[in-house]
Amino acid sequence: MARSNQRKATITGIGHYIPEHILTNADLEKLVETNDEWIRTRTGISERRIEKDPDKAAAHMGTQAAIEALNSASVDASDVDAILVATVTPDYMFPATSALIQKSLGAKGAFGFDVSAACSGFLYTLSTAAMMIESGRVDTILVIGTDKMSSIVDYTDRNTCILFGDGAGAVVLQATEEDHGFRDFIHYTDGDEDLYLVQEAGGSREPASKESVEQRKHFIRQDGRAIFKRATEGMAGVAEEIMKKNKLSAEDIAWLVPHQANSRIIEATANRMGVSMDQVMMNIDKYGNTTAATIPLCLYDWKDQLQKGDELILTAFGGGLTWGATWLTWGGAK
């Protein structure tokens, strides 16, 4: 593997937030026609976390994750140059969720913006932040994935309500000239003309109306079969592609960090890469799909097992359609 001493972006701190309320498969059996075995067999999910407090939305969850990440990195909020937030469930259409988090943290010197790339959002945001640091123009960036999916889930639709949960994850990204950190990325977008995964109303094309509410168009809707096929092809394909591009073998990879959409998609990705499931971070069973938060939540849950110098492949697929992979070398953040 090629090494370089040029300026890089490395993760120096990590934090998370998960709500206290647990929604189990047994709970969902009381809401829609489904059962625990069916959900676990097809998705790998046993339970998910739901933020019940209406006053605690994406910004609140992201702020809590950011505070923990800053403490982990021993970085003061006043030293943050930028705050980049991946979310599809912002508190408001505007102002940006990043602005609300900036105020809550007291990070007065930081600018910020939101990225909307669905489940690929954290990877898109991470690569954007890394390139900003590599340019030499900023030194410290908070990268946050936060989604309150329960706010747009229709709990009468068994195709979607079994999948999603709420949560947030955050990392502190800082400049380093050491031999670790962000190394490469590949991203793809394919405009989804068939709208396999969509929230139909609430935007400028179909503003909120009595009709849009009655027709439940403000909830997430997806074609499960189409998304499963495209996600399996996309995540597995791009993970293999970034390995080939950088001449990485399965033996080089310490951990696969996949978006937590479906256990079968994750297994297919690991098989395509040639890595053992023992090398795969998977917590979908207890959190479900938290959209932009899944990858940082995995990094948080495995932080005590990660060793400095570990090679990680991060990969995701989401609405848009969007997908991608990132290669980074762990710098030892705890």
259 included as an active-site residue = yes
Considering the candidates 16, 25, 60, 119, report the single residue annotated as catalytic: 119
The Cβ of residue 289 has, within 10 Å, a number of other Cβ atoms equal to 24
Q: Quick one: pLDDT at residue 4? A: 53
Going by C-alpha positions, the residue among 57, 64, 109 that lies closest to residue 83 is: 109
289 included as an active-site residue = yes
CA–CA distance, 198 with 217 (Å, rounded to integer)? 9
Tell me the pTM.
Answer: 0.97
Considering the candidates 16, 60, 180, 259, report the single residue annotated as catalytic: 259
Considering the candidates 60, 262, 289, 298, report the single residue annotated as catalytic: 289
Q: What average pLDDT values come out for the chain (334 residues) when binned by 10 residues?
A: 72 98 98 97 98 97 98 98 98 98 98 98 98 98 98 96 98 96 98 92 97 97 95 97 98 98 98 97 98 98 97 97 98 88
Q: Which domains does the chain have, with CATH numbers?
A: 8-179 (3.40.47.10), 183-329 (3.40.47.10)
Q: Quick one: pLDDT at residue 2? A: 44
